[in-house]
Each structure stands twice: as structure tokens, then as C-alpha cells.
């Protein structure tokens, strides 16, 4: 058996404004998706026959990493609620990429990769299947798995499953963990890790080290309402078309995000919280909050450093930054929300079991 897992994410700053080039900040959360692979007589997912159209992410990864490979039984588990803006599909894609790479091994030439994707060599990963060349040695198991490769693959298959549109925010946060900043320019003072381009759009991806921050938690409150991201993005686009002055809100979100990032880097959590609450007021003024989110946000505010909706809005989830996770969580639950508690920036993808790797040697 080969098993890998990856965290979900939530957006601390900059949702919606990122569509117009402003920076967005996402952090990995403690909740994870896990993918377990074992050899099987036929393709199965959670014991049922595998239907590519029902699992487009897995199908796209299968084409890229397991083309012609033997049938697998895939078990998916996890505690990230689906379709709630917490990155469940990106976490699944990252975990599945890691598990498939671990199960297949990697051909090497002169101690360098003979196959695979890195930010330095993007190749045609976004366009479709790929075949590798034969190397002079093979690395198997956890040692051949690479965060950057999982992030690229997850971005490619998210784009495939969403008709060509996906920013790398989720895939990068779920692969690397910690705190990820996306922007349309390379941000001074941040650690730029790579630039991704898809369909003529480029995003510069940075990481922020939050490993020194403790004694503060995120409480995520779900409204239980599903509002598709595409509809919320369109709502903002229409608002800006009708009222061009609303572009000021977008620009101000960018300023608030940058202030929030600086506060994060200084470990000044009171300022981080204030920036989050300010970000929320601007999102509200863009029309993407809703009464159910406002109820949860008001309930969480008294025990929190900052509160805001997270992700596309219109439903979905809110987040509270708090030193009292129990009290904040209870307040949100009393107001009718379901809660999850997480550290501020959790670990990235992991191989949890590689005892049986490799499950296939494509060059035998
Ligand atoms: O709800 P999520 O996690 O899909 O976040 C959407 C973030 C937006 O800025 C609203 C859209 C986007 O593509 O960045």
C-alpha cells in the first residue's frame, strides 16, 4: 500500500481582489485529504468501479503519471468538507499526485531527474499526457516525491477539471503547506518560489515563513451554504462594470493584504486580525457576504483578533483568528455554524506509507 496526504487551505487575505492582480494570502490548515493506492484486478475508487467523468482530477493524474500502469484500488478519505472553499479538490489532487509518483518511482540520469516536472522546466504539463525517457537508475518511495512537482500537477488537473481556469493558490498551499502569497508581480520582501502561467495569465507564487507563530488559531465556521466560486466572481465583475468606483475597494484590499502580510512577518497577530476584519468590510462592500456569514462573523468577533469570510463568499465559510479557539468555536456553533479548528499554517503534503512502493516500474 502507498499512502499520501495533503492539507486543505483557507484564504487569509485578498480573495476576489486577486482576480484583478492584487496579492492573495492562503494558509494550509490541519484538515487533510488522504489517498491510498494498492494493486487491484480492476480500477476502483472507494470499492466502486472507477468512472473517469465522476473523478476528473484522478483521471487527469492517471493520464499523466499512470498511463498504461496496472489497475489500482484508490481509497480517498479526509476531513475537509467538499465544495466549501477549503481546497478539498486541490488537497485531493496533491495527495493523489504524491501517491502516484511514490508508487511509480522516478527515473534518474546522472543523479538528476530523467522524468517529471519542476518550476524550472514547466514543459507541456498543462496540455495533456506526457511520456518519460528511460534513465540509468530509479528512486522509489517517499524519496522520489517532490512538493513542487505535486503543486504543478495539481494545478494542471484543477485547470483540466475546471475548464481551463484555476489559479495556483490552492495547489501551491496544499502542496507546500505553510503560508503562500500569490501576486501579479514579484513582491519585494517576500520569498518568491516560482511563477506559474496558464492560458496567458501569470502568477508569482511566494512563501512566508510562519513557523515562529504559535498561541493563535484559526476557527473556520461553515454556513453549510454552497455558492459556486464562478458565480461570486461574476457578481463582482458585474458590480465593477456598473459601478467602476468599486475598483477602489479592490485596490484597498490589496493595500490591506500587504499590511496583513507585513504584520504576519513581524508576528504581530493583533494587526493581522485587524487587517482581516478590514478585509471583510471591503468584501462586504463588494457584495460577496451574506446574512448567514454575517451572523457567524458577529458571533465570533468578541473572542477573536479578527474575522472575515474566506474564499468566494455568498455562503461557504468564515474564519476567525483567535487565542481562544474553544470559546470562538462555541460562539460560532451557537449561532448555527459548523466549526473546524486549525493552527495558522499547517504542514504540506506527506507520504504516510511507502512500504509497498514501487507498485509499477514503467520501464521494466
Ligand atoms: O472559495 P475558493 O477557495 O474557491 O476561493 C475563491 C477565490 C476567488 O478569489 C474568489 C476566486 C479566484 O479564482 O481567486
Grid coordinates representing 280?
Answer: 471583510
pLDDT tens-digit map of 4-22: 999 999 999 999 999 898 9
Q: Which residues line ligand 1 (CB under 6 A)?
A: 11, 15-16, 18-19, 85, 167, 229, 232-233, 311-312, 316
Paired sense of beta strands 306-310 and 317-322, if any: antiparallel
Ligand 1 nearest atom to the CA of residue 87, by list position: 3
Contacts of 292 (CB under 8 A, 6+ apart): 223, 225, 315, 336
CA 177 to centroid of ligand 1, rounded, Å: 18
pLDDT at position 46 is 96
Does residue 249 have a pLDDT over 80?
A: yes
| Dihedral angle sign, alpha carbons of residues 188, 192, 197, 203 | negative
129 pLDDT above the threshold of 90: no
What does the CA dihedral 47, 60, 346, 301 come to, rounded to 10 degrees? -90
3-state secondary structure of 348: coil
Mean pLDDT in residue range 253-258:
97
Mean pLDDT of 192-204: 88
**Which atom of ligand 1 sits closest to the CA of residue 236?**
10
Mean pLDDT of 183-196: 92
Distance 17 CA to ligand 1 centre (A): 10
- 130 vs 77: CA distance, rounded Å: 28
d(CA 108, CA 363): 12
Residue from 236, 180, 248, 244 nearest 210 by CA: 180
Which helix (H) or strand (E) segment is 116 a member of?
Answer: none
Q: Specify whether the CB–CB gap between 217 and 342 falls below 8 A.
A: yes
Identify the pLDDT of residue 127: 53
pLDDT average, residue stretch 222-235: 93
**178, 209 Cβ separation under 8 angstroms:** yes
Confidence band (pLDDT; 50, 70, 90) for 283?
Answer: very high
Q: What percent of the chain clears pLDDT 70, i.e. is strictly above it?
A: 96
How far does the centroid of ligand 1 lie from the alpha carbon of residue 156, in Å? 17
Closest CA to 154 of 209, 99, 82: 99
* DSSP output for 162-188: TTT---SHHHHHHHHBSEEEEESSPPT
Is pLDDT larger for residue 124 or for residue 295?
295
Q: Which of 15, 254, 318 to mutate to test the pocket of ligand 1 (most atoms within 8 A of CB)?
A: 15
- Residue that has been written with the C-alpha cell 499590511 in this structure: 259
Least confident interval from 122-136, 185-199, 203-217, 233-247: 122-136
Residues 16-40: tens digit of each pLDDT: 999 898 999 999 999 999 999 999 9
- Cα of 21 to ligand 1 centre, how many Å? 13
Q: Which residue has the higher pLDDT, 40 or 159?
A: 40
Q: Residue 172 pLDDT > 80, yes or no?
A: yes
Helix (H, G, I), strand (E, B) or coil at 314: coil
pLDDT of residue 132: 62
Amino acid at each position: 500500500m502507498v499512502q499520501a496526504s495533503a492539507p486543505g487551505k483557507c484564504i487569509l487575505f485578498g480573495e476576489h481582489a486577486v482576480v484583478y492582480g492584487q496579492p492573495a494570502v492562503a494558509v494550509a490548515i490541519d484538515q487533510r485529504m488522504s489517498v491510498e493506492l494498492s494493486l487491484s484486478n480492476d480500477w476502483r475508487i472507494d470499492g466502486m468501479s472507477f468512472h473517469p467523468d465522476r473523478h476528473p482530477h484522478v483521471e487527469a493524474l492517471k493520464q499523466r503519471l499512470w498511463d498504461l500502469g496496472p489497475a489500482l484500488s484508490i481509497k480517498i478519505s479526509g476531513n475537509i468538507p467538499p465544495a466549501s472553499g477549503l481546497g478539498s479538490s486541490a488537497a485531493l489532487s496533491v495527495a493523489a499526485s504524491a501517491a502516484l509518483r511514490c508508487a511509480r518511482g522516478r527515473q534518474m540520469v546522472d543523479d538528476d531527474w530523467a522524468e517529471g516536472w519542476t518550476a524550472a522546466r514547466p514543459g507541456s504539463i498543462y496540455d495533456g499526457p506526457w511520456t518519460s525517457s528511460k534513465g540509468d537508475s530509479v528512486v522509489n518511495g517517499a524519496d522520489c516525491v517532490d512538493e513542487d512537482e505535486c503543486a504543478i500537477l495539481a494545478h494542471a488537473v484543477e485547470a483540466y477539471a475546471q475548464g481551463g481556469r484555476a489559479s495556483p493558490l490552492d495547489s501551491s498551499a496544499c502542496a507546500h503547506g505553510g503560508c503562500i502569497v500569490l501576486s501579479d508581480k514579484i513582491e519585494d520582501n517576500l520569498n518568491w518560489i516560482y511563477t506559474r502561467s496558464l492560458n496567458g495569465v501569470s502568477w508569482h507564487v511566494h512563501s512566508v515563513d510562519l513557523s515562529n507563530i504559535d498561541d493563535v488559531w484559526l476557527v473556520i465556521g461553515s454556513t453549510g451554504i454552497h455558492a459556486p466560486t464562478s458565480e461570486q466572481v461574476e457578481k463582482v465583475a458585474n458590480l465593477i462594470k456598473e459601478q467602476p468606483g468599486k475598483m477602489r475597494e479592490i485596490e484597498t484590499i490589496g493595500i490591506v493584504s500587504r499590511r496583513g502580510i507585513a504584520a504576519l512577518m513581524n508576528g504581530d497577530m493583533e494587526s493581522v486580525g485587524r487587517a482581516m476584519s478590514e478585509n471583510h468590510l471591503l468584501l462586504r462592500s463588494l457584495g460577496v457576504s451574506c446574512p448567514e456569514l454575517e451572523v457567524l462573523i458577529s458571533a465570533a468577533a468578541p473572542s477573536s483578533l479578527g474575522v472575515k469570510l474566506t474564499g468566494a463568499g455568498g455562503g461557504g465559510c468564515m474564519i476567525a483568528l483567535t487565542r481562544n479557539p474553544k470559546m470562538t468555536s462555541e460562539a460560532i456553533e451557537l449561532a448555527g455554524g459548523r466549526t473546524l479548528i486549525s493552527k495558522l499554517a499547517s504542514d504540506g503534503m506527506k507520504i504516510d506509507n511507502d512500504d509497498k512502493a514501487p507498485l509499477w516500474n514503467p520501464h521494466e
